[in-house]
Structure 1
Amino acid sequence: MKFLVEDTDVVSKVNKYLTTLTLPVDYSVKNLKNSYFDTLSMTLRTYDFGLRTRTYSAPDTPNVTEQTIKTAGQVVGGLHKRPEYNVQIDTNQPELALFPADIWPTHANLQQIQEQLLCLFSTDFVRHTWQITMPCGSEVELVYDVGEITSSGKCSVINEIELELTTGDITSIFSLAQGLFSCLSLRPGLESKAARGYNLFHHREMSYPSRLPVVQTERKADLSTVFYTGMAQALEHLQLCVAGYLAQPKLDILGDFVDSLILIRHGFWLFEQHIVDEQQRDTVRKDLSHFIKLFSWVDNAQLFTELMNKSGAYRKKIDYSEQLVEQLKLEHRRFPDEEQVKKLMVSERFNNLQLTLLELIINKTIKVSPSDQDTRAFAAQKLEQSLSQAQLGGEQTHYIDVAKRLLSQRKQLIRSLLTGNWLGAFFEDSIRQNYRNAWLDVLEGMNELQTLWLLDEQLDALSPRNEKLCSWFDMKIEHLVDTISQSHQHALSIIPYWRD
C-alpha cells in the first residue's frame, strides 16, 4: 500500500506514532540507487514487466547490487499487487537469463531483448525502514522513501510511504495506515516510481479523468461482482481526481471529484436492499454524505466562475453593471481557497473513508445478497425506476414557473444518469450512449439555467435594480426554457436502451 506524503518531519512523526504502539520494531536506513531498463520500443512494458537494478548502501556494510523484475499485477485504490523476482549481481547491467524461465511470455526473445536493453531513468533516494511485529503476529514493513527520479536531465521528487505485509493478515496494514493518517498528511499513491519514471522518460504528464466512468463488468456478472467492481472503478476515479487537483487546482477537476463521491454513494443506494450489513453500509454512506456536503459549494463556484469568465457567454452583459461585477467578485471570494481544499483532501477523515472503501473492496467486508432475477433484469428494473423519478413534466405554463420546476428536478435527472453509470454496461454501447447523450443535453440546459438563476439572485441584491439587465434576463430565461423543453421532448422520443 503506497501513500504520497504531503508533510514534513516525517521520520520523527512516524517514530513518535510507533512508540505509542509499544510493539517490537526494528529500524534501519540506507541509500538506494536504481536504474530502470527496457528496449527503445518498450518491449518489457508491452508485457507489463518492469526491470531494474538496485544498489544498496548502508553505514558499515558493503554495497550490494541486485536485479529485479516485476511482472504483471494490479493496483486497487493505492494497494499494489505485483509478483517480483530478485537476483544478486556484480555489475549494474541486468542479465535476463538469471530470472526464472517460466515468467516470460512464450513468444519473448530473451537474447534479442538483452542486446537492446538501455537505461531509461534512475531513482536515487534514502529509505527509512521499520520492521513491525503486530499483536496478531503479522509482520509489516513500513518504508519511507525520500529522493528523486531523473531522466535525461529532468527530475521528479520522491516523498512516499509504503506498507508491505511480509507475513500474516492483510488487515494489519489497514490498521497501521489508520494510525499514520492520525499523524501525517497523506494521499494514496496510484503510480509506482517506475510508472513515474517512464512518464518522465516519455515527457508525459499523468492523465486525469474528464468524466465519470460507466462501470465495466462482465454482462453475466452477479450483483456482488457488479457492486465491488463498480466501487473499485469509482474509487480509482476519485483518487485520480484528487491527484489531478493537487497537481493542477482547477474547479472542473474539483467538480469531477465531487461527482465521484456522489457516484460511490449512489452505488450504496442502488444496492441497499441487497447489502446485508446495514450498519456498515449506513456508516460509509454517512461519511460520503459528510464530504459531499462539505464540497456542496463547488457547484455554485463553477457557476460564478462561468459568470466572471471574460470569454464566457454572459460577461459582456454583466460588464454593463460595475456594481454587479463587484458583487460577483465578492461572492466568489467567500468560497474556500485552494489550500483549504487540499487540506481536506489529505485529512485523516478523508483518508480513512478511502481506506474503508479499499478494505471493503479487497476483503469484501460488505455481503451483497443475490437477486431473484438475473443481473441484466435487475439493471433494467433500476434504470426504469430512475427514469420514472426523473420525469420533468408539470402543469405550470409560465416560463418562470417552468424554470423553477426544471431546477427542482435537476437532481433527479442526475441520479437517473448515475444509475446508467452503474448499470448501463449490461446493454449495447452505441444505443446506450445515444440515449444518454440526449438526456445529457437536457442536463446541460438545466446547468445553464442554474447559472442564469444565480445571476438573477445577484441582480436582486443590487440597489437600485438594473432594469435593463433584468429585462435581458427574462428574455434569456424564456428562450432557454423553450430550448430545454425541446431537448426533453427529443430525449423522450428515444426508446430507452434497456427496453430495446
Structure 2
Amino acid sequence: MNAEIELKLFFLPKFQESLINKLDSLDGATPQGKRRLTNGYFDTPTLQLRQWDMGLRVRGFDGHKEQTIKTAGQVVGGIHSRPEYNVTIQADSPDLSLFPTSIWPLNADLTAVQAELGCVFHTDFYRRAWHVTVGDSVVEVALDIGEISANGQHEALCELEFELLSGDASALLALATQVVSTIPVRLGKASKAQRGYRLAGQSTPLTLSALEFLPLPVPVDLNLHQPHQQDLTVTCQVLLETALERWQLLEAMIAEEQDNEAKIALWWRMRTCIRLLRMTLSQFGLANAGLIQQFSLIESQLEFIEDAQALAALLGSQKGLLSRLDSRQALMQRLQQQFDALGVAARLTSLWQQVEYGQLQLAIVAILLDIGAGKIALAVELGLLTHADNAQEASWQAILAAMPAEKAMTAEDYLLCAVLLDESIQVGQAYGLLYETKSRDAFRAPWHDLVLGIRTLACYQQLTLTAKSLGIDLADWLEDKQQSLLFAMEASRQNAIQQITYW
C-alpha cells in the first residue's frame, strides 16, 4: 500500500508547451520520458465502490496492466492524501480478490460486487514525467494531456500533478510555486474519477449549500475570552480551508451552469469566498503586501458582477417589471445586448489565464500548511471570542461611519456601501456560531433586507441608463418605484442601527 500525497493543478491547453519548457529547465529535474496511459474505471450499476468512497481502475502502459484501488482519503488546503493499492494483472478487468481483505467494509459482499463490475468511463492521456529533487525531498511531476470519455461524450484533460516520492510535503508547494511564477494554473479539486463519473451521468450535479455560518470546532466548556492558541489556530484553519474549498467548487459550478442568472449568483458566491479569505488573513495578521496586491487584482476582475447581476435579473426574474411598458421589446433587446457585451461566458477562462490567480491560491495553501505544521504562530493575546468580538465591532463601526443614522441615504449612497455591507455580513457568517442564535439572527435580518434592496436599486439604475440610451423617458415611473424602495430601506436601516449588538 502506498499513501499517495499529491498536489493537483489544472491548466488551459494553450500553456502545455510553456509548462514542458519550464519543467525541463528546473534545477534538480530529471525527465522520465513520455508514455500513453489508458485507464478504465470500474464500478457496479449501483455505484457500490463510489458509495464506499473508493475508486477502481485498470491502467495499461508499455504492454503492462495494473489494477489500482484508492480508498477514502482527505484534502487539506489543496494537498490530496489518499491510500492506494496496486496489483499487476494480465486481464482487462480487475479482480477484487487480489487486493488486501482489510481494505473492505465489514460484511462487504465482494463476490456480488465482482460479478456486477463494469467499465463506467475511460481516461486516456499522454503523461510526461519528471523527478525533481527539492532539498531532501523528491517529487514526481506528471503533466497529463488527453481526454475523459463516457457514453460517447468527451472532456479535455489538462492536469499537472506533484506527487511526493520521499521527504516533506512542503516540497510540493515549493516546487509548484516555482512553476506558477510565470505560467497560469489553478488548484485542481476534482479528481479524474470524479470528473469521469459526472461525464458518465453517474454523479449528481454539483451543488453547494449557502454559506450561512462556518462550523467552528469550539469546545463548549472552554472560556473563549481567555487566550488559547489551539482555538485561534483551528478557527483560522477552518475559515481558510472552507473558503478555499468552496472557491474551487464554485469554479466548477460556474463552468457547468447554463442559466445566466444562476451563473451570476455563483460568481457572487465565489467572490464572497475570495473576500472571506482576504478578510480572514487580515484579521489574523497573515496578509502581507504581496497577498493584498494579488487579492486586489483578482477582485478587480470581478467588478462586472454587479452590472451582470442587475442585467440578468431584468432579463430573468425581474422581467415582469417591464411587462406593461410599451417600450418593453426595445428595452429587453438593449438589455440583452448589454449583458452580452460583458462577456460573462469568457470571464472564467480569462481569470484562469492570469498567473496571479493560481499564485494566490497556492499562497493560501502554503499558509495553511505552515499553520498546521506549527511554523506560523498566531498571536494569543486575545481569546477566540474576544478576537471575534473585535472583528465584528470593527466591521460594525465601519458600517456606522458609512451610513450614520442622521444621514439621508440616496440610491447612490446605498450602492457605494454595497461592498462594505457585504464584507460586514461575511464577518458575521464567519463567527456567527459563537453567539446566541436569537439575538444574532434578529440583528442580522434587517441588514440582509438592505442587501436585497441594494440589488433592486441596481436594477433600477441599470434600467434608467438603458432607457436613456434609447431615448425612452421612464424617469417619473422609475423615480416613484425608487422612492418607495428607499422609504422601505430607510425603515430597515434605522431598525438595523438601533439593534443591540450581540457580541
Answer yes or no: same fold by TM over 0.5: yes
Aligned partners of 1:417, 1:15: CA distance in 2, in Å? 44
Residue number among 44, 51, 55 corresponding to 1:50 in the alignment: 55
Residue number among 471, 475, 481 corresponding to 2:476 in the alignment: 471
- The within-5 A match list for 1:243-322 is 243-248=252-257, 250-272=263-285, 275=286, 281-309=288-316, 312-316=319-323, 320=327
CA drift at 1:206: 4.5
Percent of aligned positions that are identical: 26
Aligned partners of 2:195, 2:469: CA distance in 1, in Å? 50
Partner amino acid, structure 2, of 1:283: G
CA drift at 1:48: 1.9
CA drift at 1:329: 6.5
Quickly say closer, same or farther: Cα 1:329–1:192, change in 2 above 3 A.
closer
| Matched-pair contact (CA < 8 Å) for 1:449–1:477 | yes
Corresponding residue for residue 358 of structure 2: 351
Partner amino acid, structure 1, of 2:233: S
- The within-5 A match list for 1:415-494 is 415-427=423-435, 436-456=444-464, 466=473, 469-488=474-493
Aligned residue for 1:395, secondary structure, equals coil
Aligned residue for 1:219, secondary structure, equals coil
Aligned partners of 1:409, 1:388: CA distance in 2, in Å? 13
Aligned partners of 1:35, 1:461: CA distance in 2, in Å? 57
Corresponding residue for residue 189 of structure 2: 190
Aligned partners of 1:145, 1:219: CA distance in 2, in Å? 42
Partner amino acid, structure 1, of 2:55: G
| Matched-pair contact (CA < 8 Å) for 1:40–1:116 | no
5+ residue gaps, structure 2, are: 1-6, 220-229
Partner amino acid, structure 1, of 2:392: L
1:7 correspondence with 2:17: no
5+ residue gaps, structure 1, are: none
Aligned partners of 2:42, 2:455: CA distance in 1, in Å? 49
Partner amino acid, structure 1, of 2:300: K
| Matched-pair contact (CA < 8 Å) for 2:132–2:139 | yes
Partner amino acid, structure 2, of 1:472: W
TM-score, with normalisation over the residues of structure 2? 0.81
Residue number among 349, 356, 360 corresponding to 1:342 in the alignment: 349
1:367 correspondence with 2:376: yes
Partner amino acid, structure 1, of 2:143: Y
Quickly say closer, same or farther: Cα 1:443–1:109, change in 2 above 3 A.
same
Aligned residue for 2:58, secondary structure, equals strand
Aligned partners of 1:115, 1:345: CA distance in 2, in Å? 42
Partner amino acid, structure 2, of 1:237: R
Aligned residue for 2:25, secondary structure, equals helix
TM-score, with normalisation over the residues of structure 1? 0.82
Quickly say closer, same or farther: Cα 1:118–1:495, change in 2 above 3 A.
farther
Aligned residue for 1:162, secondary structure, equals strand
Aligned partners of 1:40, 1:2: CA distance in 2, in Å? 29
CA drift at 1:318: 6.6
Greater CA deviation, 387-396 or 234-243? 387-396
CA drift at 1:118: 0.8
Greater CA deviation, 348-357 or 289-298? 289-298
| Matched-pair contact (CA < 8 Å) for 1:23–1:135 | yes
Aligned partners of 2:347, 2:442: CA distance in 1, in Å? 40
CA drift at 1:288: 0.6
| Matched-pair contact (CA < 8 Å) for 2:151–2:200 | yes
Aligned residue for 1:349, secondary structure, equals helix
| Matched-pair contact (CA < 8 Å) for 1:242–1:345 | no
Aligned partners of 1:454, 1:70: CA distance in 2, in Å? 52
Residue number among 404, 412, 422 corresponding to 2:420 in the alignment: 412
Partner amino acid, structure 2, of 1:83: P
- The within-5 A match list for 1:67-106 is 67-76=67-76, 78-105=78-105
Aligned partners of 1:375, 1:209: CA distance in 2, in Å? 28
Corresponding residue for residue 21 of structure 2: 16
Aligned residue for 1:82, secondary structure, equals strand
CA drift at 1:418: 0.7
| Matched-pair contact (CA < 8 Å) for 1:65–1:88 | yes
**CA offset digits 1:460-481 (Å, max 9, x no partner):** 7776x83xx2111221122101
Aligned partners of 2:406, 2:444: CA distance in 1, in Å? 26
| Matched-pair contact (CA < 8 Å) for 2:291–2:360 | yes
**CA offset digits 1:329-352 (Å, max 9, x no partner):** 776566455435522223212111
Aligned partners of 2:437, 2:89: CA distance in 1, in Å? 51
Aligned residue for 1:30, secondary structure, equals strand
Corresponding residue for residue 222 of structure 2: none
Corresponding residue for residue 141 of structure 2: 142
Aligned partners of 1:200, 1:325: CA distance in 2, in Å? 35
Root-mean-square deviation over aligned CA pairs: 3.5
Quickly say closer, same or farther: Cα 1:421–1:6, change in 2 above 3 A.
same
CA drift at 1:419: 0.5
Partner amino acid, structure 2, of 1:16: N
CA drift at 1:299: 1.3
Aligned residue for 1:158, secondary structure, equals strand
Quickly say closer, same or farther: Cα 1:395–1:431, change in 2 above 3 A.
closer
| Matched-pair contact (CA < 8 Å) for 2:69–2:85 | yes
**CA offset digits 1:395-418 (Å, max 9, x no partner):** 246xxx554544444333222211
Aligned residue for 1:21, secondary structure, equals coil
Greater CA deviation, 71-80 or 403-412? 403-412
